[in-house]
Amino acid sequence: MTTIKRAAIIGGGVIGAGWIARLIENGVVVSVFDPAPDAKEKIDAVLVNSRYAYKKLSNLTGPKEGRVIFCESVAEACHLAELIVESVPERLATKQVVYAEIENYADINAIIASSTSGILPSDLQAFMSNPERFLVAHPFNPVYLLPLVEIVGGSKTSSTVIQKAEAIYQSIGMHPLIVKKEIEAFIADRLLESLWREALWLVKDGIATTQDIDDAVRFGFGLRYAQMGIFDTYRVAGGEAGMRHFIEQFGPCLKWPWSKLTDVPELDDELVDKIASQSDEQSGHMSIREMERIRDDNLIEILQGLKRNNWGAGQTLANYESRFLNAANDPG
Ligand SMILES: NC(=O)c1ccc[n+]([C@@H]2O[C@H](COP(=O)([O-])OP(=O)(O)OC[C@H]3O[C@@H](n4cnc5c(N)ncnc54)[C@H](O)[C@@H]3O)[C@@H](O)[C@H]2O)c1
């Protein structure tokens, strides 16, 4: 098991803070650089949520929580870091400037990982002096609870670095998914974007409100997707005749078609107002903090249910916890 002792987080917003939470939970000392004056306050708020979540998720004693060190510069943050996580806003030029600065100070063996949701790693690493140690490690919010991290190498990324990163992410309880070829938005966000695009059309065309669409997900197929993905779900739906029968039955619908696919509705003021006001009506009575707590409580129960069945993300959690049990039982 490849473990690390020191990491740096450059950009401590929603995702950077989630990475900090997951890393310190695993005993890693994390140095953070974020120039925003309220960065510490926001990170502290996420750590309140994550500590609460971890306490509920498992009653096993893991490693002693790592320290968080707030730094004044990229140079200070990168000092001694074995893994440097970039989580700055989703702009290619901004990220490239950050890598140039990181490379001035990082140890030559440090892995540099971008949290980008969709920019190609080959573009991100284009001007780096040592691009072989760069990769994308795309996590999902909340990073401290969801195990998936998509690992994507660029044309200059070394395969050894990918293997090393895979072991590091496993050591902090994650499920690294190696994306075989780089493509914009990788796997999960391509799927999510197609769903979101269709949802925007349904609101624009007055077929459903934001509430209706969310209900269509959470009372039905959303429940299925936490435990089986698209293909296994449809295999089961095909009955004994399985996948071939399912494709025979529903394949033709793809050509009718039932969805608007790549056609994007114009996000003009009218549509944005419509969506925002429906969303206010749906959930405006709760604060974001309250919604985060509800989300985390639900995710914990789902993960624990899946753990009892030793299935999917629950199996990842069980494997992770078994390391603590083995460590606790090790007389040495
Ligand atoms: N929000 C999500 O659900 C999500 C999920 C997965 C990946 N991502 C990706 O993670 C990255 C960060 O997204 P986010 O949602 O955390 O954004 P965010 O706006 O919440 O946080 C970005 C942070 O970066 C800081 N920052 C800006 N310039 C900086 C610089 N030069 N050096 C250091 N810090 C700097 C900002 O002060 C801010 O705190 C993006 O690439 C995004 O695509 C986001």
Share of the chain above pLDDT 90, in %: 73
* Distance, first Cα to last Cα, the chain: 18
Answer whether 161 contacts ligand 1 (Cβ < 6 A): no
Cα 119 to chain center, whole Å?
Answer: 15
Distance from residue 91's CA to the centre of ligand 1 (Å): 10
Q: Which long-range contacts (CB under 8 A, 24 or more apart) does 268-273 make?
A: 271/200, 271/203, 271/204
Q: How far apart are CA 111 and CA 85, in angstroms?
A: 8
Is 9 within 8 Å of 83 (Cβ atoms)? no
Distance from residue 116's CA to the centre of ligand 1 (Å): 8
Using the predicted structure, report yes or no on whether residue 212 has a pLDDT greater than 60: yes
Contacts (Cβ under 8 Å, ≥6 apart) of 140: 146, 148, 149, 188
pLDDT mean over 293-315: 94
- The string of pLDDT tens digits covering residues 116-145 is 999 999 999 999 999 999 999 999 999 999
pLDDT on residue 328? 63
pLDDT on residue 9? 98
pLDDT on residue 258? 73
User: Positive or negative, the Cα torsion across 23, 87, 296, 216?
Assistant: negative
Answer whether 86 contacts ligand 1 (Cβ < 6 A): no
Give the Å distances, CA to CA, from 23 to 88, 214, 224, 286: 18, 32, 30, 29
Answer whether 34 contacts ligand 1 (Cβ < 6 A): yes
pLDDT mean over 308-328: 87
Between 303 and 246, the higher pLDDT residue: 303
Ligand 1 pocket, mutate which of 88, 92, 148 (most atoms under 8 A from CB): 88
Answer whether 102 contacts ligand 1 (Cβ < 6 A): no
Ligand 1 pocket, mutate which of 9, 10, 15 (most atoms under 8 A from CB): 15
Between 276 and 300, the higher pLDDT residue: 300
Ligand 1 pocket, mutate which of 115, 124, 135, 146 (most atoms under 8 A from CB): 115
Mean pLDDT of the chain: 92
Answer whether 18 contacts ligand 1 (Cβ < 6 A): no
> At 256, is the pLDDT very low, low, confident or very high (cuts 50, 70, 90)?
confident
User: Positive or negative, the Cα torsion across 46, 51, 53, 57?
Assistant: positive
pLDDT on residue 128? 98
> At 102, is the pLDDT very low, low, confident or very high (cuts 50, 70, 90)?
very high
> At 293, is the pLDDT very low, low, confident or very high (cuts 50, 70, 90)?
very high
Is 31 within 8 Å of 9 (Cβ atoms)? yes
pLDDT on residue 138? 98
pLDDT on residue 271? 84
pLDDT on residue 140? 98
Distance from residue 75's CA to the centre of ligand 1 (Å): 19
Q: How far apart are CA 26 and CA 115, in angstroms?
A: 19
Using the predicted structure, report yes or no on whether residue 101 has a pLDDT greater than 60: yes
pLDDT mean over 86-115: 98
Take atom 9 of ligand 1 and give the residue whose Cα is closest. 116
Distance from residue 297's CA to the centre of ligand 1 (Å): 24
Is 306 within 8 Å of 314 (Cβ atoms)? yes
Ligand 1 pocket, mutate which of 76, 117, 152 (most atoms under 8 A from CB): 117
- What torsion, rounded to 10 degrees, do the Cα atoms 68, 23, 302, 194 define? 100
Q: How far apart are CA 228 and CA 292, in angstroms?
A: 24
Take atom 20 of ligand 1 and give the residue whose Cα is closest. 13
Distance from residue 128's CA to the centre of ligand 1 (Å): 20
Query: Could you give all domains of the chain from N- to C-terminal order, each with its CATH number?
Result: 6-178 (3.40.50.720), 188-327 (1.10.1040.10)
Is 8 within 8 Å of 77 (Cβ atoms)? yes
Share of the chain above pLDDT 70, in %: 97
Question: Which of 37-51, 71-85, 209-223, 312-326 is predicted with the least confidence, judged by mean pLDDT?
Answer: 312-326
| Nearest atom of ligand 1 to the alpha carbon of 117 | 43
- The string of pLDDT tens digits covering residues 281-291 is 888 898 888 88
